A and B are shown apart, each in its own frame.
Chain A
């Protein structure tokens, strides 16, 4: 099966599970921004609500990044994950990453997982806050079309973006059981698509 030439993956909740308490972090940011906005997704929410106030935006993102970096420090090498990516890369599949985390955090996590050299494209929130746009940029850099791409994520935004672009979208999230899409229970299972 060599229909798929690329794998693009989300980071937190998909490739790795960090211990960030997102609900707590959202609440903290709501207080700073003086809003009751759901802030889902968080980065995009901050981006929308701080338009025209660069200082407030900087402050909010600094708090998010602090939490992300703290969580990233605790990420440990996962041999099974490493071997899964070696097997996928050995099949000449290009690998990219899209994440709403910052480049600083994403780089640290990839380094901790010893996966830095596997990713040809890393698209973070420093580049775009929009998942669909992130995916387009990653595919452009990898030189692949949506129909040649497997996108794996864990949120409804991942599902919508992947579906809209026409990628084979795979979701890892047991609470999204009602979605009519390809599902896997852990990232290691992604190998079956290649």
Chain B
């Protein structure tokens, strides 16, 4: 059995409702992607841990496997797919 690639997506938002909407979009994209184990976490942009790790952000922002992939906008579905795939590519 081929092991799925783990992808941790952090949704950095101002309020939880915005986060849940974004999480639904991500889940839909993740469902269509085979071979990836996508986990999403909703975090507040005001969270101390988020600020110390990513700095002051614009909502919504998306970090995938610790890298900021989008700041201040929701990427389109093809963009999200591309981000997820690229985040697991090894140099």
Question: Do the two shown chains form a genuine complex with each other?
Answer: yes
Q: Which residues of A does B touch, CB under 8 Å?
A: 82, 86, 89-90, 92, 114, 116-123, 127, 137, 141-143
How long is the Cα–Cα vector from A142 to B69 in the complex, in angstroms? 11
A120: chain B residues within 8 A (beta carbon): 67, 69, 86-87
Considering only residues 51-91 of chain B, those with a C-beta below 8 Å from chain A are: 53-55, 57-58, 63, 66-73, 75, 79, 82, 86-87, 89, 91
**Contact (Cβ within 8 A) A121 B91:** yes
Minimum CB–CB distance for B4 against chain A, Å? 21
Closest to B57 in A: A86
What's the tally of chain B residues with a CB closer than 8 Å to chain A?
21
- Given the complex, which residues of B lie within 8 Å of A137, measured CB to CB? 91
Known: A82-B55, A92-B73. A141 touches B68 (CB 8 A): no
Q: Which residue of chain A is the closest to B85 with respect to CB atoms?
A: A143
How many angstroms from the CA of A4 to the CA of B55 in the assembled complex?
Answer: 25
Residues of the B chain whose Cβ atoms lie less than 8 Å from the Cβ of A142: 86
Q: Min CB distance, A94 to chain B, in Å?
A: 8
- The answer, among A92, A117, A121, for a CB contact under 8 Å with B75, is A92
Report which of A86, A92, A114, A127 forms a contact with B91, defined as CB distance below 8 A. A127
Q: Among the listed B63, B79, B86, B89, which residue makes an inter-chain contact with A117, where contact means beta carbons less than 8 Å apart?
A: B63
